[in-house]
Amino acid sequence: MKPIPSSITSFKQFREAIYAFRVPRIIFSALDLNLFTKMETRDWTIPELAKRIRVSQRGLAILCRNLASVGLLVKSQSGYRLAPFSKRYLQESSTDFQGDYLVLMQRQWSEWSHLTEVIRAGQPLDSQKPETMEYRRSFSWAMHHRSIQPAREVAQQISLKADRTLLDLGGGPGTYALAFLAKNPTLHATVMDRPAALDVARTLAEQSSVGTRLTYQAGDFLTARISGTYDVVWYSNVLHIYSPTDNLKIFKKIKRILNPGGRLLIQDIFLQDANDLQPLEANLFAVSMLLYTQRGNTYSVREVREWLQRTGLTRSRVLHLKKGTGDWEGQLVEGRLPRSG
């Protein structure tokens, strides 16, 4: 399986880019059939497994062969068993099961088929349909599953030793806030988000030894007042939801709640080159924002630092994480409020 080329210059590369859909479609079919959970921990022959999940032997044999080709199953003399990765992340009995995140990916598969009509209309899917509490809870669990490891990695690399208060703005399940609390025993954190997301944050905090140092603030921070003052505001994977105008408005609100010398730390997927064409993933993610948000997009580091400057968070810089850690390409943008205010 070849990666999608960053630049298509031949019809062969064009064809490979088009047909890259095949492996995801195969995996989604396995998820649709609940195959990974139903395989449990034993080896299966094709006839046995076909009976177990109620599918044809021919279809299952080809499906399993492909799943083994990409490392999700292991082929044995008698048949197939789960690979270690699948046991850990794709099986419901595992403590690391990615549950709601898998559901989110499956839902996106069908929703992306509506991209053409969204491009025509310039409006996201279900733009007139109000969001349900159930959807927000499920989405928050998905973001928690996605963020567990990156949050630990970031918390290990960002020094908060001198800080006492942190606001995880739009922090959803509070995964990052809890990771920062675990690393910094004198820190207290607040997570601000919608009530359904905070339900998930409370559940996770109750299961954590540091959860008593986490408090909650419900509301839409674009329109609602943000209470309290903070040494650090953590703004992770939120920037892309909003327009430049809205982000400027949010940055100004953040400036008002920062203590002198306080920091705004922004983690997002940033465009890196002068023409805003790379990395490819940043532009692909902009398509997700077209599908799911009213005004969202992806932005360059240059743009974000300009917004910080205009807001008065004038001491901005780029922080680099260790390669392969954190979210996206391992960059944070920091804006600091001068101590003079």
pLDDT digits (tens, 9 = 90+) for 210-255: 999 999 999 999 999 999 999 999 999 999 999 999 999 999 999 9
Residues serving a catalytic function are 240
Q: Report the topology of domain 11-93.
A: Arc Repressor Mutant, subunit A (1.10.10)
Partner residues linked to 335 by β-bridges? 264, 316
Angle between helices 99-111 and 133-157 (to 10 degrees): 120
All CATH 3.40.50.150 domain ranges of the chain, comma separated, are 114-336
CA torsion sign for 312, 313, 316, 321 is negative
Strands (E), 125-204: 165-169, 188-193
pLDDT of residue 126: 81
Q: What length does the chain have?
A: 341
Q: Report the topology of domain 114-336.
A: Rossmann fold (3.40.50)
Strands (E), 108-187: 165-169
pLDDT tens-place string over residues 45-82: 999 999 999 999 999 999 999 999 999 999 998 899 99
All CATH 1.10.10.10 domain ranges of the chain, comma separated, are 11-93
Q: Which two tokens stand for residue 74?
A: 């292991």
Amino acid occupying residue 282: A
Q: Where does residue 130 rank: exposed (0-12), middle (13-18), buried (19+ CB within 10 A)?
A: exposed
CB-hemisphere CA count at 13 Å for 290? 16
pLDDT of residue 201: 98
Residue 112 pLDDT grade (very low, low, confident, very high; cuts 50, 70, 90)? very high
pLDDT tens-place string over residues 94-108: 999 999 999 999 999
